[in-house]
């Protein structure tokens, strides 16, 4: 039975995963939460969904992946980024972990969680904040289903 669940999750991810732009107009993210009411709700197809932000204009780009990740984790340490995914009826899923990635001349920071994100739940509002300002950015929802 576990094998079938795994195969089903893999098929969902392969067939339906995508990137969704959360805000079409760049925003500033800082300590005061920024609220974004979505035109179309988003949902997770598996429990590893996250929000990604291109921060190349803030931390630079790196050919050395380790140096790039170290710089991202210094600029945005654990607990620095927070995103609340909110349903129409007020239920909240919290993305309170910080991650990063470097590649293809880009540097990214991610809002994620180690707790399972509920799947099949539609989120209509997102609140984001950061201990260190992130200016003029577009948020991208990864691993989503529309």
Q: Which domains does the chain have, with CATH numbers?
A: 18-145 (2.60.120)
pTM of the model: 0.81
- 3-state SS, residue 83: strand
The beta strands (E) that lie in the chain are given as: 19-21, 27-29, 34-44, 50-54, 81-86, 92-95, 97-103, 106-112, 123-130, 134-137, 139-142, 144-145
Per-residue pLDDT at 10 exceeds 50:
no
**Residue 146 banded pLDDT, cuts 50, 70, 90:** very low
Q: What is the mean pLDDT of residues 6-24?
A: 62
Taking all residues of the chain, what is their mean pLDDT, rounded to a whole number?
Answer: 85
Instruction: Quick: pLDDT tens for 80-139.
Output: 999 999 999 999 999 999 988 888 788 889 999 999 889 889 999 999 999 999 999 999
Instruction: Quick: pLDDT tens for 56-81.
Output: 888 887 777 888 888 889 999 998 99
Q: What is the mean pLDDT of residues 2-18?
A: 52
* Euclidean distance between the first and the last CA atom of the chain, given in angstroms as a whole number: 27
């Amino acid at each position: 039975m576990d094998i079938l669940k795994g195969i089903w999750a893999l098929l969902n991810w392969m067939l339906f995963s995508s990137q969704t732009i959360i805000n079409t107009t760049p925003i500033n993210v800082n300590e005061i939460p920024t609220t974004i009411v979505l035109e179309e709700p988003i949902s997770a197809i598996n429990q590893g969904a996250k929000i990604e932000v291109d921060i190349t204009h803030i931390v630079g780009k790196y050919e050395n992946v380790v140096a790039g990740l170290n710089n991202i984790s210094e600029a945005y340490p654990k607990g620095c980024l927070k995103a609340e995914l909110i349903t129409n009826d007020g239920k909240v899923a919290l993305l309170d972990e910080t991650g990063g990635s470097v590649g293809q001349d880009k540097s990214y920071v991610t809002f994620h969680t180690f707790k399972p994100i509920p799947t099949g739940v539609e989120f209509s509002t997102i609140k984001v904040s950061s201990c260190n300002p992130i200016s003029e950015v577009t948020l991208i929802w990864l691993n989503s289903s529309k």
